[in-house]
Structure 1
Amino acid sequence: MSFISLGLSEYLVTALTELGYQQPTPIQQKAIPATLEGHDVLAAAETGSGKTAGFSLPILQRLLTVAPSEDKRKGSNQVFALVLVPTRELAVQIEEAVRQYARHFPRKLKTLAVYGGVAINPQMQGMRGGCDVLVATPGRLIDLIERNAVKLNTVNTLVLDEADRMLDLGFSDELRTILDLLPQQRQNLLFSATFPQDVRALIDNLLVNPVEIEIQQESTIPEQLVQTAIEVDRDSRTALLKHLLEQESWTQVLVFVASKRTATNVENKLFKSGIAAETLHGDMSQLERNQALKNFKNGDSRILIATDLAARGIDIPNLPCVLNYDLPRSPADYVHRIGRTARAGEEGLALSFVDHESDAHFKLIEKRNKIKVIRESVAGFERSPEVPQDVLAKKGQAPVKGKRKSKKDKLREAAAAAARTQDIWGKK
């Protein structure tokens, strides 16, 4: 199957060819025709599946049919397509992708990414005269609406990307406010990796007879991605990281850590050893975060140490290696992390440090993701055969009454969450 066969114009196909797209991914094969036919779309799509092109390309194809004289954006500050995302980094990435797809557009196309953490005035100025494709985080979009910088009454297509993540981050009220300002007649495209209760309520309230697309999770870990767990003592992880960076010929490596503090500590220790690295975490300003990502994407920096801020939505072309210095808390986030490498058919390597304390958690990650990862050790950094006493003590501790929730407590909480969700979204 080719992009031409999906109904896309030569303007878009030429750009895709120049960008190295060879053929549509499974989600693109299903989402693009359904969107072009005008259906609402509900897609279960993991990171790295090609969903950005899946919803962006049909939006651009639709814009090709809207002549300037017929453009509903003739009024100031109006929008044709609105894409809502949970993070600043994802907003920037999607807007950049849309511009790349539209590089051969026969008319001038206006795109804009708006998000918090930066000055609002330039974004207000950017909205003057309207916008073809607006990519926004919910909070900043509402700020712009309250300042009359954005009007949503002409939105033709609404996209919610990573809806589960938006609801996890507490955007329910903001989403409801935005939905109330949109026209009733519009196309809705919802992409989510998972469908918890909040997302189900959003689906019922938002979509009308949607085309449902589900890409099996097994396809999110490509065959060309090599996964290896390296057994190492906890206190030896930084020394092992330094050793690997000196011995291996990786052009770039993305190192995931559990906290901002660990990111800074590891960066400082590497610096003292003569190894330059950059960090990416939530305490950095937006300008600093953008610069760190730009340096890494351009190859100006070889090592990026990041918290899970970078696990979803960050696309680093031809990234050869991802290394889990700390394991992710959620087994699902393991897939999101390693999905930064081995993209678009390229080979990739995912390494995970496993000490005695994280041993059981890594086994849970394997079980939940239905994988079995080869375990290795590095000479000179072998993990101690004896489990430390503090780890044994933790394993041997009996559950403290009141600390671990009972099944009844969990059921009560689930029922309360469902009730809150119903209150927020209402009935369709």
Structure 2
Amino acid sequence: MSFNTLGLSTELLRAVADQGYGTPTPVQRQAIPVILKGKDVLAGAQTGTGKTAGFALPLLQILNKRPQARGRRAVRALIVTPTRELAAQIEESVTSYGKYLPLKSAVIYGGVKINPQIDKLRRGVDILVATPGRLLDHVQQKTLTLSDVEILVLDEADRMLDMGFIHDIKRILALLPRRRQNLLFSATFSGEIKRLADGLLNSPTLIEVARNNIAADTVEQLIHPVDRKRKRELLSHLIGSQNWRQVLVFTRTKHGANRLSLQLNRDGLKAAAIHGNKSQGARTRALAGFKHGDVRVLVATDIAARGLDIDHLTHVVNFELPNVSEDYVHRIGRTGRAENAGTAISLVCVDEHKLLKDIERLLRRSIPQEVIAGYEPDPSIKAEPILRGRNQPNQRQGMNSQQKRYPGKSNGSGPAARRRKPGENPVSRGPGRKSRDMAAGKARVRSRPAAKRG
């Protein structure tokens, strides 16, 4: 099957050919004809299977053929996505696919100045790609109205729920007209996603092209056992000896990403870090340098596990295994995209054996292991607990999904705990007995007359 058989217009087929696409992916084959008929869609496909084109191409055709309801140019299609990088890449794709159509698109997200976005919205936008927080900022400042939206796309919906955006999503839905076409795309179908779909979609067509939480067949997976203190040394050895020119490396923490990036640069490998504490400008520059080949190694936290679409990325390395097994699938899904081959390598120390078992249980398969000569693990080294990890006993029992991802934010270290005053009882939110006694003692000391100095 080719794109010519999906009912797309000549302009879109021309744009697709310019991108070098010949054969549509399974999700594109199933989703495009259904969306063109105006039906709601609930689509599940593993990362890297072409979901963006699956909704962007039919969306562009529908808007181009359908006359605007009003004389002014208003937002008619809204695409909501969880991260800034993903939002920017979706808008780039929409622009590329729609370059032969008279439609305008824009992207809005936080971390950058809002005024240039306001100017672009005032000039008129047909298709808007947005992250939830910045979208609501514009609505609150009355620089944007959603009353003309005809098509809503929630992309990476499971990631948005994991990141705590459910309340923002509900606020956005309340601002939209009731009559609209809804498209929900998700890498996984959790119970939360199904509940969201039940309240959002109208008799949707279900599209599921792969079992949940499995890696693409185009990705070769391999484990290299190594001691924790020799991981960076082994990583540099692999990149240099095998001449990898473009490598995406994942760490668990922002501090770890910064530290590894500095170490790799000292090893003579041009590296940059990307994570949530970086400014949007720094993140954009690092990603652009990586795509253009100026940066050889991009070190990232899980903020980049979804949304990074890098053409022909051949190697992904898990410098540290993720705390949450599902994130492993999303990480390695950055390679092996669009039916290209890719390799995902994990450097696993003795501390991470439990995490590895969890991942293999999720995948329902064992991942091949290969010990690199000269980097054999020392069997006398004992496992150490991973901070914020899942290999600590009974840590995940009784936790919700957000707490499982961020264990350190539960039971006295989350936002509510930070708002407590010093000495305040965590249950009653008033001072405890010991604190009251201490406060009374301090008051008695302060009430004594000051001693005269000789």
TM-score, normalisation: structure 1: 0.88
User: Whole-Å Cα distance in 2 between the matches of residues 310 and 247 of structure 1?
Assistant: 26
Q: Tell me the equivalent position of 2:137.
A: 143
Root-mean-square deviation (CA, aligned residues, Å) is: 2.1
1:315-337 Cα shifts (integer Å, max 9, x gaps): 01011100000001121111111
Look up the match of 1:420: none
Q: After superposition, what is the alpha-carbon deviation per residue over 1:161-215, rounded to whole angstroms, capped at 9, x for unaligned?
A: 1111112212122111211111111100011122334322321211111111112
Q: Contact conserved, 1:255 with 1:303, CA < 8 A, in 2?
A: yes
What is the identity, as a one-letter code, of the residue corresponding to 2:195? A
Asked whether 1:40 is paired with 2:32, we answer no
Whether 2:66 is the aligned partner of 1:74: answer no
Task: Confirm or deny: 8 A CA contact 1:281 1:309 kept in the other structure.
Answer: yes
Contact 2:251 2:319 in 1 (8 A): yes
Aligned residue in 1 for 2:430 = none
Residues 273-292 of structure 1 correspond to what in structure 2 (within 5 A)? Answer: 273-292=267-286
Q: Counterparts of 2:167 and 2:213 in 1: how far apart (Å)?
A: 34
C-alpha contact (below 8 Å) 1:111/1:133 kept by paired residues: yes
2:14 match: secondary structure: helix
* Superposition pairs of residues 18-417 of structure 1, within 5 angstroms: 18-66=18-66, 70-72=67-69, 74-75=71-72, 78-105=74-101, 107=102, 109-217=103-211, 221-388=215-382, 390=384, 405=397
Distance 1:65 1:262 in 2: 50
TM-superposed deviation, 1:218: 7.4
Deviation at 1:224, TM superposition (A): 3.4
**Secondary structure, aligned partner of 2:339:** coil
Which structure has the greater CA radius of gyration?
Answer: 2
State the distance in 2 between where 1:33 and 1:98 align. 18
CA–CA separation in structure 1 for the residues paired with 2:117 and 2:70:
17
2:450 match: none
Contact 1:280 1:292 in 2 (8 A): yes
Give the letter aligned to residue 144 of structure 1. H
Maintained 8 Å contact 1:49/1:220: no
Query: TM-score with structure 2 length normalisation?
Result: 0.83
**Deviation per residue, 1:75-124 (Å, 9 max, x gap):** 36x2010001111111100000011111222x3x2110000111111101
Matching residue's letter, 1:90? L
1:247 to partner: Cα distance: 0.8
- The 2-side partners of 1:116 and 1:404 are apart by 32
Distance in 2 between residues matched to 1:398 and 1:341, nearest whole Å: 31
C-alpha displacement at 1:359, in angstroms? 1.6
> Structure 1 stretches of 5 or more lacking a match?
392-396, 414-428
Determine the structure 1 residue equivalent to 2:6: 6
* Cα deviation code 1:205-260 (max 9, x no counterpart): 11111111112237963333221100100011011111112211112000111111
Query: Cα gap change, 1:213/1:405 in structure 2, threshold over 3 Å: closer, same or farther?
Result: same
Aligned length: 396
Instruction: Output one character per residue of 1:33-71: Cα deviation in whole Å (capped at 9) or x when no partner.
Output: 1111111101112211111011100011112213xxx32
Query: Are the aligned partners of 1:73 and 1:130 in contact in 2 as well (CA < 8 Å)?
Result: no
**Superposed displacement of residue 157, structure 1:** 0.3
Return the offset for 1:371: 2.6
CA deviations 1:123-168 (Å, max 9, x no partner) are: 0111013211100011111111122211111111000011111122
- Structure 2 CA distance for partners of 1:169 and 1:272, relative to 1, 3 Å: same
Q: Distance in 2 between matches of 1:134 and 1:62?
A: 15
Name the CA distance, whole Å, in 2 between partners of 1:154 and 1:364: 46
8 A Cα contact 1:75 1:129, kept in partner: no
Q: Distance in 1 between matches of 2:58 and 2:151?
A: 10
SS in 2 for 1:374: coil
Q: Partners in 1 of 2:151 and 2:189 — Cα distance?
A: 22
- Using a 3 Å threshold, how does the CA distance of structure 1 residues 272 and 177 change in structure 2: closer, same or farther? same
Following superposition, the deviation at residue 399 of structure 1 comes to 5.4
| 1:419 aligned residue | none
Residues 225, 347 of structure 1: 8 Å contact kept:
yes
Cα deviation 1:293-322 (Å, max 9, x = unaligned): 111111121110000111101101011100
Which amino acid is 1:57 matched to? L
Matched position secondary structure for 1:334: helix
Q: Which runs of 4+ in 1 moved over 4 A?
A: 397-400
Query: Residue 316 of structure 1 contacts residue 340 of structure 1 at CA under 8 Å; is this kept in 2?
Result: yes
1:247–1:389 CA distance, 2 compared to 1 (3 A): closer
Distance 1:94 1:317 in 2: 14
Cα distance 1:399–1:295, how it changes in 2: closer, same or farther (>3 A)?
A: closer
